[in-house]
Amino acid sequence: MAATQNIVTPQQLSDDWLEQRRRFIGGSDAASLFAEETRYGCATRLFFDKMGQAPDYPRTPREERILRRGQIWENVVAFYFQETTGLKIRRMGARISKDVPFMGVNMDRQIIGVTTEELKRLWPDVKDIQEMEGECGPGYLECKTANEWMFKDMVEKGVPNDYILQVNHGLTVTYYRWGVFAVLEPGSGDFATFPYLFKENLAAEQVKRSQEFWAMLEAGKMPQPVVNDKRCKSCIYRRSCPKSAELLAQAGAEFSEADYQVDDNPELVELLADYRVASEVADQKNETVDLIKGRIKEVLGERTKIEVPSAGARINFAKTKPPMRWDSKALDGTVKDFRRYEIPDGLRCQSTQHIGEAPQAVVIVEHEGNLLATCEPCGFLGLKNGYTLVARKGVADVVQNCKRAGEPSRPLKIALA
pLDDT tens digits, one per residue of 285-297: 777 787 788 888 8
Residue 195, sorted as left (phi over 0), alpha (psi -120 to 50) or beta, turns out to be: beta
Q: How many CB atoms lie within 10 A of CB 208?
A: 11
Structure letter (DSSP) for residue 60: P
Q: Domain locations in the chain?
A: 10-219, 300-320+407-416, 328-401
Ranges of residues in the chain with a pLDDT under 70 are 1-21, 245-260, 280-281, 323-346, 352, 355-362, 390-404, 406, 417
Q: Looking at residue 341, what is its pLDDT? A: 42
143 neighbors 109 (Cβ within 8 angstroms):
yes
408 neighbors 384 (Cβ within 8 angstroms):
no
Q: Looking at residue 372, what is its pLDDT? A: 77
Give 223-257 pLDDT, tens digit per residue.
988 877 778 877 888 888 888 766 655 544 444 45
The correct CATH number of 10-219 out of 3.90.320.10, 3.30.43.10, 3.40.190.10, 3.30.70.260 is: 3.90.320.10
116 neighbors 138 (Cβ within 8 angstroms):
no
390 neighbors 311 (Cβ within 8 angstroms):
no
Q: Looking at residue 298, what is its pLDDT? A: 84
Helix (H) or strand (E) holding 180: strand 178-185
Q: Looking at residue 13, what is its pLDDT? A: 39
Q: Looking at residue 11, what is its pLDDT? A: 44
Cβ-based neighbours of 146, under 8 Å, separated by 6 or more: 154, 183, 184, 185
Burial class (CB in 10 A: 0-12, 13-18, 19+), 105: buried
Burial profile 139-175: b = 16 or more Cβ within 10 angstroms, e = fewer: bbbbbbbbbbbbbbebeeeebbebbbbbbbbbbbbbe
